[in-house]
Structure formats: C-alpha cells, structure tokens
Amino acid sequence: MEEGISTKWIKLQDIKDATDSIFAGTGMSVNADAYSAAKEAASQALSKLNGKAPTISYIFFAGDYDPYELTKGLKEVLKDSEFVGGLGDSVIYDNQILEKGIVVASIQSDFLHIGVASSDGFLENALETARKVAKEAVAKIAIDSYVDPYMQALRLKGGDMRGIVKIPPYYMHVFTTGFKLPQMGEENKTIAGISDVIGRQIPIWGGAFETSLENFDKKYEIYSLHSGKVYKDGIIVLFSVTSMLYGYSIAHGAKKTGSLAIVTKTSNNGYVVDEINGQKTVDWYAKQLKMSNENFINSALTVSITQRWPIGMVDNLGNIVVRGGGTPTGPDNQSLAFAAPVIEGSSIFLMDGAVENLLTATDEIVSDIKSYTEGKVDPKLVLITSCFTRRNVMGEKFSDDMKKIREKIGNPMLVGFTCAGEIGAREGDMANCHHLTDNIFAFYNKLLTSKNE
C-alpha cells in the first residue's frame, strides 16, 4: 500500500532528525578454506549493521582461494544483497597486509542508493564495455521519489549552493581487470567509457584487480565477483546517489628529480616509450641513474629499478601522474613497456620513489579530504586501492603507510587491496589511471544537509 502524506511526513521528520546516516561493519578471515573464510568475514561485517541488510558490500581477497567457493559462502551470509569485489595482489584490513585472506566491508544506509552492473569479456573491448556497463548501472538506480528530493531541498533551503556544486550527490565506483601479459590494462579506456555516460565532473574511484606479484611468471586468472557471478575478465561499476557526506583523494609522494624532459616517441598506443628528449628511452633512463645502458637492460631488477625511480607525467593542473615498472622491449631492448599508456609529447620528470618520500602521501591525502569535506568529523569507513608497486618498493614499511593513513584521518575502519592501477583523482580533478599511489574513498556518518560544526 502506498504511504499516506502523514506517514511520509513523519518519515521525513525522522530522517531530518536522524543521528546515524550510515551503519558500517568490516570482517576478515585467513581461513585456508574459501567457503569458511567467506562466511566468517561476511558474518563479522554484518554483525555491526544492527540487524539491517547491507545496501552494498565490498569483497576483496588475495591468495589461491577458489572464487566459486568464496561466492557460495558469501551468498549464504549476504543473501540477496548486492556485493562486489575481486582478487588483489594483497588485501588490506586496518593496519594489516594479508597475502592470503578475505576482507569484507558492508554498508547500510537509507541515504545511499546504488545501481550495480557488471560484464565479462572486458579486455576484448574495454571502451564499449565500460560505456555499456556504466549505462546499466545508472539505469538501475531506484531512488525514493519523496525522500530524495526532500534531502536535496534541505540542502537548497540551507542556502549552501557552493556546497551543492562542490560535493555532488553522485559518485561512481569501478573495478576492472588488470594487465595479464601480453594484454595490457585498460584503465584509461574504462574512465573514457564511463565519462561518456556520466561526464567528467562526477567523482570516479576504484582500481584494477590483479594476481600477486609473485605469480606474474605463471599461468593465472584475475577473478572478480558480483552478487553470485564470477568473472575472469570482468568489470564492475557502481553508480551511487547519496545524501551522505563522502570524501576522496589520491597521492604518491614521489619527488621530482633533474630537469624537465619530453616524451618524443611512443608506440603500441602509448604503452611503449621509444624516445625521451630524442634519445632512446633506455639511454635516457640509464644516464639519469648514472648507470651503463648494458647494466640497466641486463639487470634482473629492471622492473624494480623503474618502480623505485618511475617517470612522472605533468598534467594541465601541475599534478604528476606516475608510470612505473617499465620493462625493456623492442629492437635491442632500447624501449620501455609500461602497464598503462604514456602520452607522446608529455612533459615528464624522473621521480624519486624513496620510502621516506612515499610516506608523505598521507599528509597530502588528509589535507585534501579535510579541505573537501570542510568539517571536523572523522570518517567511519575508508576504502583504499594502493599500488602493488608501492607495496614492493616500501617492503615492510607498507604496513606503516596504512597505519599512518588511519591515524591521520581519524582511525576509521580501513579495507582495500593492492592493485595494478588506481583509478581516482584529487578534489576537483578529473579521474585518471595512476601508479604508486594510495587512493582512498571515505564514508562519513553525516548528512550533506548537516551544517559543518
């Protein structure tokens, strides 16, 4: 039966006076059995939702778990509620970095509506598939035609037009399949396809699923999960309409070294850099590091060298987008291949990715988010995608990186995974594919209609 006007008015008053706009819970398991691990982690997360069914659950796992058994366990606990996730190089649970385990973050809110769509066969035609799935996700949104306009009216009534423009009541989360050589990742095409549907002004956040660094020389699959579906080459898109405060930012912390250079020649759609400043790329790189060309290309650690000393492309706002992990390729191994494209004609710097530099990323992220949200309230839950190159370069210090993020931003629950490519942006910027970054999305127990106090 349709609600009467008086019932709706009471409901609106309850909403206006609500003290909790979001319930969130997290869970983790390192049980070796996939089915048991999924049930254990999901049950822990749901236990903190006050008996409410989750609006959405995020599932990240690492290690050799059977994804079908994971899905079986998740369905038993999460029932018919939506859940999304996939395989990471490692997973993050508060300050812990797990090379094998499953983590779950479940969210319930009457102020959050989510449309979820997914597809397999993503890498075959990334641009068109991303566009198609984004359209489906937007079309699946089921808003409350009475409550949601009321919440937006409250924002307008408060006279905070600037806030409405600055923090839109929409955002997109996306999880893609990372590179599986010789197939490169397609994060840039993913962003382009989604932007064709929702524009470039709506925040887009996410990352690319991947296997562990130790498995790259083996045959492997990259699994993603969506509410009972298991994909080997998948993309998952979540379009959200919300009345809750949220924040996001991304940073790497690497520092510029040397003088500005120009990428003068690329091939393979930008995935291979052939010349920098008119020189063979390997010659240019070796000279910057004061190494011989022969030692650079014959080193078994070339990938690690270019992770530790990546190149950084300068965008039109002065931000630097990093490309690391280049491997020698082409005639005489004088070019470098990257997992994401580099734009010919780009201004670049050689970047210093020392651990002490990378640890400064947290300060940038927290400063950005506090500026964006303009409030003193701390987030309740933070999702993170962090580059597996970052984990490799930082080694044992990577857990310190996660600890610092939590402490600086207010000790929220922290859940995420290390990935092949981070999709995100700083406040006000357009989304891009990044490497070497910490990339976070924060949920707050605060309505966008509330005054900042």
User: To which H or E segment does residue 445 belong?
Assistant: strand 438-447
Q: For 289-314, what is the mean pLDDT? A: 85
Distance of alpha carbon 369 from alpha carbon 374, whole angstroms: 8
Could you tell me which residue, 112 or 298, shows the higher pLDDT? 112
Tokens of 422: 């981070």
CA dihedral 369, 371, 376, 379 (to 10 degrees): -10
| Least confidently predicted of 40-44, 102-106, 319-323, 350-354 | 319-323
Statement: residue 19 has pLDDT above 80: no
Residue 295 predicted with pLDDT over 90: no
Question: Smallest Cα–Cα separation from 444: which of 382, 385, 386?
Answer: 382
Q: Say if residue 271's pLDDT is above 80.
A: yes
Distance CA 31, CA 171 (A): 34
Residue 212 is predicted with a pLDDT of 81
Listed in sequence order, the residues at least 6 apart from 370 whose beta carbon sits closer than 8 Å to its beta carbon are none
For residue 259, name the pLDDT band (cuts at 50, 70, 90). confident
User: What's the half-sphere exposure (Cβ side, CA atoms, 13 Å) at 79?
Assistant: 7
Of 10-19, 162-171, 375-384, least confident by mean pLDDT is 10-19
Evaluate if residue 159 carries a pLDDT over 80.
Answer: no
Asked whether the beta carbons of 237 and 172 are under 8 A apart, the reply is yes
* Residue 334 or residue 166, greater confidence: 334
Q: Using pLDDT thresholds of 50, 70 and 90, give the confidence band for residue 18.
A: low
Beta-bridge partners for 337:
272, 327
d(CA 256, CA 253): 10
pLDDT score, position 9: 43
Question: Could you tell me what percent of the chain has a pLDDT over 70?
Answer: 89
**pTM for the complete prediction?**
0.92
425, two tokens: 């942006």
Q: pLDDT tens for residues 232-246? A: 999 999 999 998 899
pLDDT band, residue 372 (cuts 50/70/90): confident
Q: Which of 120, 174, 108, 170 is CA-nearest to residue 141?
A: 170
Please list, residue by residue across 344-370, b when 16 or more beta carbons sit within 10 angstroms of its beta carbon and e when fewer do. Answer: eebebbbbbbebeebeebbebbbebbb
Mean pLDDT of 398-408: 95
Average pLDDT, the chain: 89
Residue closest to 65 by CA, chosen among 43, 44, 39:
39
- Rounded Cα distance between 326 and 273, Å, is 9
> How far apart, in whole angstroms, are the C-alpha atoms of residue 311 and residue 305?
11
Q: Which whole number is the average pLDDT over 309-330?
A: 89
Instruction: Return the pLDDT at 165.
Output: 74
Residue 2, pLDDT above cutoff 50: no
| Residues 224 and 178 sit within 8 Å (Cβ to Cβ) | no
Where are the strands (E) in 37-111, listed by range?
56-62, 83-87, 90-93, 96-98, 101-108
Instruction: Give the range among 76-80, 155-159, 299-303, 404-408 with minimum mean pLDDT.
Output: 155-159
143 or 17, which is more confident: 143
The token pair at 6 is 């008086």
Q: Which helix (H) or strand (E) holds 403?
A: helix 398-409
Q: Which residue has the higher pLDDT, 331 or 8?
A: 331
Partnered with residue 79 across adjacent β-strands are: none
**Lookup: tokens for 374:** 């303009």
d(CA 20, CA 8) in angstroms, rounded, equals: 19
CA dihedral 176, 179, 182, 188 (to 10 degrees): 70
Question: Which residues are CB-contacts of 238 (< 8 A; sequence separation ≥ 6)?
Answer: 56, 84, 114, 115, 116, 137, 172, 173, 174
- Residue 306: C-alpha distances to residues 104, 439, 444 (Å): 33, 21, 37
pLDDT digit string, tens, across residues 92-116: 999 999 999 999 999 999 889 999 9
Q: Is the pLDDT of residue 453 over 50?
A: no
Average pLDDT over residues 41-57: 96
What's the pLDDT score for residue 10? 45
Q: How many residues would you count in the chain? A: 453
